[in-house]
Structure 1
């Protein structure tokens, strides 16, 4: 009887040690995966912030063209600085959603600068160009094929012209292994980046169209419902 109980104890201890080992290994893999995601997102956002910085400097007012223009440009400049700081301090994938949200706001400010320089009415809020948000707020729409037919995606004039001419848009690509793919085909890794650019349009016709092309946006909606 004693040996039988000792045997049970050894088996139970072995099972406990195995479960602990598997749990620790799973945790290590999750930590390594999170670190990898953070590194990928940081590199991507650093590129986006650098592009914004170049555009902010390029649109810097050379003369005193009015309070509204100066305010719009300073808004873009300040948002760029905040985004740069956020990229440096981010330690979790979801932190990068705020980075690209700042970039979207900065791009909106720059579009107001351009309008004011041309003496046009400053445009209202618009989604970023779906194909490459670094192109700025969309000022056109284009038909894009999906399984159910086509949808109208917000985009910049240049991408609309290319697509309507039979060419591919200048897509923002994402590293996937040894290749680069359009961001909307990059899967889960791109999720925080994409939500910062486009998440504010959830519940609008723009979002309905975009989620039919970008599966990662659909996945976010489903996870939200599951968590509710």
Structure 2
């Protein structure tokens, strides 16, 4: 074999030994692409979107006024986001490693929605962002056909949560136009008058009949009316009571363990006080309303949070739909442009277009209130109960204060 042939054979052997290279590099994941874009511009706009420059400029201007870093991502809805949207702020913050406000807004047709999280520097405390959003009465009126109005309002809410700055009024151009009141027609007025007359007459007749029946009844001949809250507890209610009592015991143990430390710093004293505040409210609910499902569930939530505070872990909001579930780790849209924390199973069910079963309670129905029906707790009047008003602390983190300071409002 000639020297030329030997060189050719060696070259072929080297080529055979080389690994087969892919035809093209793998496309970076969405979090990687957003994080890479943020290295040059903290307002990332997916190239597949056409967002007016005026919208982007307004977002940048509002972000520049904040006292913390603001990271914004505007992306179209994709199958990936249907599963991972609520985890995206955490994934993005892990890639940047920086504190600040992380906002992800997704567009479907002309409707903008999304998630946001405020990450403070280590050791810095402040009001919860969801609490500020829950108290913002104008949040429901912000338009959702443009990204800037929602994002500007979120930055303002985060500023209030960050340093207690007063929340400004929303710009009138960012609010839905007021709906003109509908004036009833003359025919409708006549029909209304007729129905009122029939109703009054029927009510008087019913009252007269009821009076005659009650007069004819002999004392003690009938069964007593079922009082509110006197329904025999179910196995589910008994289990919630057991969990609440167990959580209260464990929270007390964690607080005592914290108090036994040789040196209690200011931060540890704050944790102890926060844990005691929540535990005292939990004990109050169990003592004052031992048979009420709402009160028992509220005691369970507060006791869990008291233990978290004493152990030094983050105090997490409960699942809005069922506070007996795991903590609300995802924020899901609910109602008119409102987002609530939810556990993963409830978030997944809502993502499929189904309403979570939720915590169901019994309420009296009928003219005499003798019948009962089971309904989701959030359908009750929030004015009647602090657990309903706060979503058991999922909407505003002041359930302990409401229980301790407004016992008359607790049913």
Q: Given the two structures, how large is their TM-score scaled by the length of structure 2? A: 0.28
Under a length normalisation based on structure 1, what TM-score does the superposition of the two structures give?
A: 0.44
More relative contact order in 1 or in 2 (CA 8 Å, sep 6+)? Answer: 1
Higher helix share: 1
Indicate the structure (1 or 2) with the bigger Cα radius of gyration: 2
